[in-house]
Structure 1
Amino acid sequence: MSREGIRSRRLLGASVLALSCVAMPAAAQDAGGRQAGDVLSEIIVTAQRRAENKQDVPVTVTVLGGDFIRDARIQSVQDIVARTPGFGFDTYPASEPRLSVRGIGSSARGAGGDPSTAIFIDEIYYGRPAAIIFETYDVQRVEVLKGPQGTLFGRNVAGGAVSTVTNPADPRGFDAGAEGTYGNYDRVDLAGFVNAPIADGKGAIRVTGTLHRHDGYVDRVVNGVKDGDLDDQNAKYGRAQIYLEPSDTLRLDVKADYARDRAHGPGNRPVIDLGDGGLSGLLAPGTKRGENAATFNGIQDRDTWGVRGKIEKDLAFASISYLGSYRELDYESFYDFDGADPLPGRPTFDIDGGNSERTEFSSHEVQLRSLPESDLRWVVGLYAYKADTFRDSTTDLRVAGDVAVSDYVVQDATTDSKAIYADVTVPVTDTINIFGGARYTWDKKRLSGRGETNDPGTFFTVGDPDEDGDPSGFYEAAARNSWGAFTWRAGADWHPTSDIMLYASVARGFKSGGYQDTPTDSADVRAGINPEYATNFEIGQRGTFLDRRLIWNNSVYFTRYTDLQTRMLTGFGYRADNASAEIYGLESELTWRMGNGFALAGSYAYTHTRYTKFITVENGANVDYAGNRLTRVPDHKVTLTPSYTHDLESGATLELAADYTYESRIYDDHNNKPPAIREPTHFIDARMIYTTPDGNWSVSLWGKNLTNEKTATYQAVFGGVMFAAYNPPTTYGATVRWSY
């Protein structure tokens, strides 16, 4: 056996042993409030579009509850990823993260693409990466669902889904809260909410607002002098809700939100010169996390707003609802790609560019489902989604300050999706249920594209051949296509005791076809990408032990993908190809309240990914990547959260907690070869929280990445040079919270 195989087996054994011997505070995973004593409360989820105890749900789902999100300062997608087994991401740039669940994350950013890992916020699908708002203040929980979804959710999902549920407007009473944070890098976070009953207790309004800002983690140093900063934050967010219950059988819920970001973009830099490309010997590599040589402060601006409305009516035999949404996005990014000084004797040399995007998308969903008290649980739904996206991509090569090569691609796309779905859970006996669902999806896309360059092939645009058969540097073309797919799920669950559930399921998922992000010519515009299909087989166990002081859940799965949409670099653009892959693994989560204030939580994920068929073209030659691992997926991931809560004589409480995350090696290139390899990482966060006897005030001292671990959140090879961006350094601060 290889050394890597021996290390993997040792780590697997150590991880399982750790999960069998450690414990965790319930606050780290529950979806409700704090709990007294050592008994674990129920974790309520809506993974199946109905409120259920997580221990009764035959779907693999990781839940981050509102208390844990608040106390552990879960404020970004990176924070969610770090604490979720089987969940990954990279940033290029941070405002458009590429998410993956169990290795599947081929999120195409072009106007004609869709993400493989879908994001839902309050049941609404967010189809554009730049529109996703990871604002976690005043959030009830975040659920990460693994595997294909679609017989219960509005939009079909092949790889997995991340569902955020915000706190609703509550007619039961007045509520309010506020918090303020100050930390290093001149960090200032302000947040607050007010909830007030209206209409004689038959309704409520809730208003939430946040502000986040910090200086850049990267100093922009030009000719030895600091001239700006990058990797900064300046974000504002607001949400307003109104909820009405005109009668016992009628409910109306409306939410509107707005987000505004103004930042200077990522701090990329060259880290390795491979000596075999067009950029080799031109740039000075540097690996300092806190410094690069970008020649200007970049632009990373976003404005997005939307409204969501839901009306529900209880009938004699069922409940009927309508859920509608509308959202607009105005996004722009433009920054120095290379972030480097020229080598001595070389002219000033810069590669810069970015994207702008304007998108409008809307959805409509009508759903008829069984009443909560019904033994036979079922749902039937109709769904429609439409998106109109205008997006451009610009890449410039500047020599001595002047533009030498300019590459520009424009795409205008429309996506129309319609679906009908149904799902049912049938109790066979008091302890056995069978469940199944089906969906049919009709997707239609139209795209028009134009590209132009003054030097064909330098970046990605080649253009159509001219009269002599040479690249013209210009193309203009249009394309349209449609796809239909039948997807389904089936399975059964068994409760041998009241505290244990076993389940088995098989599900088939689908993601529609699409178009290239940066086509090279008109033929490339029209060629398109085939839709992808996934079939997932899974068995799992849910268990509550030791008089409800211990929860241990496990699942094993096997997923087969056909026409998996993969993305790879081609110069400074991206190209999507179809491949086939197999993925299998196991996931384990354990929560144990040991008593006397001690607790600890753990999770472990083993993910085995391999391409079974993947032939693509690189540098004009066919390359076969069959047998290689998928990109950005660690084989092993471990999270541990120990905590201790001490009750003071005054009635106040003092909580100490830490979060540890380990990820094994990942590959950032389909060839699985150096240098695009990220070595294993170890991250440690910690916090100390003092809460007053009345529970209305708390003070938290916190630190993140306390060992100052440095790893690439993005890395890729362009022109024989490896470029990278790094994770945030050690950050720390104090937070004061007040609640009414």
Structure 2
Amino acid sequence: MPGEAKRGDGKMISRKILLLTASAMIAMPVAAFAQNATPQAAADDVDVGEIVVTAQRREQALSDVGMSISAINGEALKTRNFTDVSDLSKLVPGLSVSDSGFSTPIYTLRGVGINEPSIGSSSSVAIYVDEVPLAYPVMTQGTTLDLQRVEVLKGPQGTLYGQNSTGGAINYIANKPTDEFSAGISATLGRFMRGNVEGFISGPLAPTLKARVAVRGSFGNGWQQSITRNDKLGKVKNFTGRAIVDWEATENFKASFNFNGWVDKSDTVAPQLVSVFPGNAFNVDRNLVVLDTVNSASCSAPAGRLPGCPINAATGTRVTAANNTVITRPNLLPGRNARRADWDPGQNFDRDDKFWQGSVRAEWQLNDQVALTSITSYAHLKRDQNSEFDGTAASENLRNFQKGEIKSFAQEVRMTADFANIHWLVGANYGRDRTNDDVTQFLRNASAVQNIFGFPSNGGRILASQRIKNWAIFTSIDAELTEQLTLSGGIRLSEDTRKFRGCGAPIDSFSTPAYTALINAFRTPAGLPPIPQLAAGQCYAIYTTAAVQQNDTAGLPLLTPGFANRTLKQDNVPWNVNLNFKPTQSSLIYARVSRGFKAGNFSTLNTTDHVAYNPVVQEKLTAYELGGRFRMGRMFSFEAAAFRYDYINKQLRARVFVGPPFGNINAQDTIPKSRLKGFEASATLRPVEGLTLTGSGTYIKSKILRYIGQTVDGISQDQSGSPFNFTPKWSLNGDLNYERPLTADLDGFFGVNVSYRSATSAVFVPQNAPQPNLAPFAIDKYTLVDGQIGVSGGDGRWKAFLWGKNLFNKYYWTNVIRVSDVIVRFPGMPATYGATVSYKF
């Protein structure tokens, strides 16, 4: 009976919740951890060793906050030479930051994330600087400058922060202007001549006005080496700046003005060739790849395979009738060397990316209980870059020239009130964004476009834009029921509207006959006259159903060139409920249930077939978490949490079957039902003065419960039971830091940092019905070891140290994707090391 089935499911869920509860209670002396994260002295500690955070929009002791938080202070970040957002995954268990290949980092927290690099796609993990949103991951490059600390909030966030998110939130907290004059400078130089010069100046400008300006310039030579010639790629050339002005007009009113930005003229980096697709054991680690791509105008291509040109037995390469040798041999593969890669010769693979943002935060203290806060921000990004994608020197198998623009406005107003034992917050926010993508794909030698109806083509162009508006009202309340028991909760009502406009276009006059023939091949069977030859840059889309085209293009006839227009409008209600119990002043047990949403989205990386225009609907995640903290002064702290996430409509980038002529294409999709559950714990021990030992770990078990999707071979398959991609079961971090005086005026310090990630995959790996050709998509387990050793002045004004990252030169990679005829991976940096000196005036 259906009713019996539901009751059975309820019992099973109840048992699992009880098991999670028991696991957490067994593991708990009850806990506290924030990755060695004591904030600057500006925030008063509750007692010795206590950590102050602003995760709930106000300063609180960490032991009073009922959620899982990792915090890392600014000095710890500097000593680790933290200048890239990807380094954060070494410091926060359960967090991974992957390279999408489009200069857009992919954030995944506790297995919640989406490998969607479109410029207009928001992240499942929301990013802020001083509570000011960076609505799109591509904007986050300059966040690491001059930081006081970083706070990582795990689990759905949406009732306190301006962006809905299912995975969590990362809030970078910048150093603020000081009451007295101060200044500092630091310089770093390391392997590959990579380094930076960074400085700040801070102090009062007038009795009610103070400011802080920080800048950083980074530089470096190419670190990637071409496999086929004497050439390098990967130079670094960028500049980042931030200016903050604080104005305290009266005792009850103050405002902060923040202007920040960056310019990046560095190289894009090339991926490494893994295999030619279809796989057939062409695994790069076994040196079996013998084939890349050729211009097949003069040789046939068997169905479903790469061109069948004859093989030159002497060289092991395939050759066209014109004797055009463009095929990769086994001895020219990168192997397990992060530096070896390849790219099209004669190309300038550089960026010309620019970003700036301005924000104003105003605070009015109306009386002793009530305060108003307004945060207004505007951000503008322009992207202009050339990227290698096929990882070979075979010219134009896949190269992308990307231009894009984002304009993002956000406004938030909130009121807080403190009455007796109640803290109440109510507010509203509004956002208005515009995103534009213009991607030219050079594909002349790719098998998919070598010959369209007898006409060769150089490739195609993708034009897409979105107009996004969202608004929300929200409230939260904390009520102290007793001295030890606090009940809190929050709710938010939000709406998101996205208007999409997109098309494909031939890139030049050489390519227009092929695309014209393609469209006419569909018009003729439909009884429509052929269209005249397209012009270079003229929009088209392949619609095989008249009703769909008329709906998207405001009534244009079937297969008539033009833009497609679509709209997605959705609302949602995220919420959370917390029960916090404090057995002692320095301990906490909490139970939290929350629901979060991530907005739906249109992809902008493939607009050839109208199916690619389909948006993904918003994803919903309901989280259950039981955890706690315990602290014994500065000597020992411990934290543990057990969690379970129930996922509806998890968004992902997948291969979707659209029928002829394109077959499977890259597009967005959703998983109707899936689940995550896991456990994390962390501890900090200071057994003797100057020695700090920190360990943390996260275990995640993910599972797809219902999803029919395309395999990497283009076969529709039930993928229920598969674990999530990009989700290692284990994430472990360990730190050893030791400081001691060497003389009356000289201190020494030493540190070792170890991070481990277990194996995962870039695609789903079915458990019940294994499929072939998955090996190239594996992401192997890896352990990275970093270290620092140095000296500093006894007064703390200067510091000099040596540092190293990936000291044992571990070969690892964070992403694998299929593009055109090949599968490529994005490796992590090899061993780097250098020296840093800094001085504060």
Tell me the TM-score normalized by structure 2: 0.79
Give the superposition deviation at 1:727.
0.9
Do the aligned partners of 2:390 and 2:397 also contact (CA within 8 Å) in 1?
yes
Is 1:366 equivalent to 2:413 in the alignment? yes
Deviates most, 276-285 or 378-387: 276-285
Give the superposition deviation at 1:370.
2.1
Output the amino acid matched with 2:84: S
Corresponding residue SS for 1:675: helix
Output the amino acid matched with 2:254: R
Q: 1:96 aligns with which of 97, 104, 127?
A: 104
Corresponding residue SS for 1:648: strand
Output the amino acid matched with 2:615: G
Is 1:214 equivalent to 2:315 in the alignment? no
- C-alpha deviations, 1:206-234, integer Å up to 9, x for none? 11110111112202354x3x23x223321
Q: 2:644: which partner in 1?
A: 558
Corresponding residue SS for 2:141: coil
Looking at structure 2, the residues matched to 110 and 144 of structure 1 have their Cα atoms a distance apart, in angstroms, of: 24
Q: 2:825: which partner in 1?
A: 724
- C-alpha deviations, 1:137-166, integer Å up to 9, x for none? 310111111111111111111111111110
Q: 1:395 aligns with which of 411, 422, 441?
A: 441
- C-alpha deviations, 1:310-349, integer Å up to 9, x for none? 110001231001100001000122222123245xxxxx56
Q: 1:687: which partner in 2?
A: 788
Give the superposition deviation at 1:27.
7.8
Q: 1:26 to 1:650 in 2, by over 3 A?
A: farther
Looking at structure 1, the residues matched to 755 and 728 of structure 2 have their Cα atoms a distance apart, in angstroms, of: 12
Is 1:600 equivalent to 2:657 in the alignment? no
Q: 2:94 aligns with which of 64, 83, 86?
A: 86
Do the aligned partners of 1:477 and 1:522 also contact (CA within 8 Å) in 2?
no
Q: 1:451: which partner in 2?
A: 504
Corresponding residue SS for 1:497: coil
Q: 1:254: which partner in 2?
A: 257
Alignment of 1:148-227 (within 5 A): 148-170=156-178, 172-200=179-207, 202-220=208-226, 222=228, 224=229, 226-227=230-231
Do the aligned partners of 1:107 and 1:116 also contact (CA within 8 Å) in 2?
no
Give the superposition deviation at 1:522.
6.2
Q: 2:731 aligns with which of 637, 641, 662?
A: 637
Q: 2:835: which partner in 1?
A: 734
Q: 1:4: which partner in 2?
A: none
- C-alpha deviations, 1:58-82, integer Å up to 9, x for none? 0111111111111111211221011
Corresponding residue SS for 2:788: strand
Q: 2:742: which partner in 1?
A: 648
Q: 1:600 to 1:33 in 2, by over 3 A?
A: farther
Q: 1:126 aligns with which of 86, 110, 134?
A: 134
The root-mean-square deviation of aligned C-alpha atoms, in Å, is 2.9
Is 1:380 equivalent to 2:474 in the alignment? no
Is 1:412 equivalent to 2:460 in the alignment? no
Looking at structure 2, the residues matched to 501 and 483 of structure 1 have their Cα atoms a distance apart, in angstroms, of: 37
Do the aligned partners of 1:604 and 1:637 also contact (CA within 8 Å) in 2?
yes
Give the superposition deviation at 1:134.
3.8
Looking at structure 2, the residues matched to 337 and 278 of structure 1 have their Cα atoms a distance apart, in angstroms, of: 20
Q: 1:178 to 1:467 in 2, by over 3 A?
A: same
Is 1:293 equivalent to 2:342 in the alignment? yes
Q: 1:308: which partner in 2?
A: 359
Looking at structure 2, the residues matched to 462 and 555 of structure 1 have their Cα atoms a distance apart, in angstroms, of: 57
Looking at structure 1, the residues matched to 124 and 339 of structure 2 have their Cα atoms a distance apart, in angstroms, of: 33
Looking at structure 1, the residues matched to 73 and 217 of structure 2 have their Cα atoms a distance apart, in angstroms, of: 22
Looking at structure 1, the residues matched to 514 and 50 of structure 2 have their Cα atoms a distance apart, in angstroms, of: 58
Looking at structure 2, the residues matched to 473 and 73 of structure 1 have their Cα atoms a distance apart, in angstroms, of: 55
Looking at structure 2, the residues matched to 720 and 521 of structure 1 have their Cα atoms a distance apart, in angstroms, of: 17
Q: 1:357: which partner in 2?
A: 404
Do the aligned partners of 1:463 and 1:522 also contact (CA within 8 Å) in 2?
no
Count how many residue pairs are aligned between Structure 1 and Structure 2: 704
Output the amino acid matched with 1:323: I
Give the superposition deviation at 1:25.
12
- C-alpha deviations, 1:644-699, integer Å up to 9, x for none? 21212323210010100111001111236312111110100010120112221110
Is 1:430 equivalent to 2:437 in the alignment? no
Q: 1:631 to 1:464 in 2, by over 3 A?
A: farther
Output the amino acid matched with 2:705: T
Do the aligned partners of 2:35 and 2:694 also contact (CA within 8 Å) in 1?
no
Is 1:490 equivalent to 2:587 in the alignment? no
Give the superposition deviation at 1:478.
0.2
- C-alpha deviations, 1:95-126, integer Å up to 9, x for none? 21111111111153436532211111121111
Looking at structure 2, the residues matched to 463 and 728 of structure 1 have their Cα atoms a distance apart, in angstroms, of: 48
Q: 1:186 to 1:127 in 2, by over 3 A?
A: same
Give the superposition deviation at 1:404.
3.7
Q: 1:481 to 1:702 in 2, by over 3 A?
A: same
Do the aligned partners of 1:238 and 1:259 also contact (CA within 8 Å) in 2?
yes
Looking at structure 2, the residues matched to 711 and 27 of structure 1 have their Cα atoms a distance apart, in angstroms, of: 24
Do the aligned partners of 1:366 and 1:381 also contact (CA within 8 Å) in 2?
yes
Q: 1:54 to 1:456 in 2, by over 3 A?
A: farther
Corresponding residue SS for 2:192: coil
Corresponding residue SS for 2:63: helix
Do the aligned partners of 1:27 and 1:67 also contact (CA within 8 Å) in 2?
no
Do the aligned partners of 2:503 and 2:562 also contact (CA within 8 Å) in 1?
yes
Looking at structure 2, the residues matched to 591 and 417 of structure 1 have their Cα atoms a distance apart, in angstroms, of: 41
Q: 1:464 to 1:497 in 2, by over 3 A?
A: farther
Corresponding residue SS for 1:685: strand
Do the aligned partners of 2:813 and 2:825 also contact (CA within 8 Å) in 1?
yes
Give the superposition deviation at 1:455.
9.4
Corresponding residue SS for 1:131: helix
Looking at structure 2, the residues matched to 556 and 381 of structure 1 have their Cα atoms a distance apart, in angstroms, of: 31
Structure 1 gap ranges (5+): 1-15, 343-347
Looking at structure 2, the residues matched to 632 and 388 of structure 1 have their Cα atoms a distance apart, in angstroms, of: 29
Q: 1:574: which partner in 2?
A: 666
Looking at structure 2, the residues matched to 34 and 690 of structure 1 have their Cα atoms a distance apart, in angstroms, of: 25
Do the aligned partners of 2:32 and 2:631 also contact (CA within 8 Å) in 1?
no
Q: 1:435 to 1:353 in 2, by over 3 A?
A: same
Deviates most, 288-297 or 178-187: 288-297
Do the aligned partners of 2:374 and 2:413 also contact (CA within 8 Å) in 1?
yes
Looking at structure 1, the residues matched to 513 and 426 of structure 2 have their Cα atoms a distance apart, in angstroms, of: 52
Q: 1:34 to 1:166 in 2, by over 3 A?
A: closer
Structure 2 gap ranges (5+): 1-23, 281-303, 308-317, 319-326, 451-455, 527-541, 545-558, 657-661, 767-773
Q: 1:620 to 1:712 in 2, by over 3 A?
A: closer
Give the superposition deviation at 1:643.
1.7
Corresponding residue SS for 2:254: strand
Give the superposition deviation at 1:519.
4.2
Task: Calculate percent identity across the aligned residue pairs.
Answer: 24
Looking at structure 2, the residues matched to 415 and 456 of structure 1 have their Cα atoms a distance apart, in angstroms, of: 36
Output the amino acid matched with 1:476: F
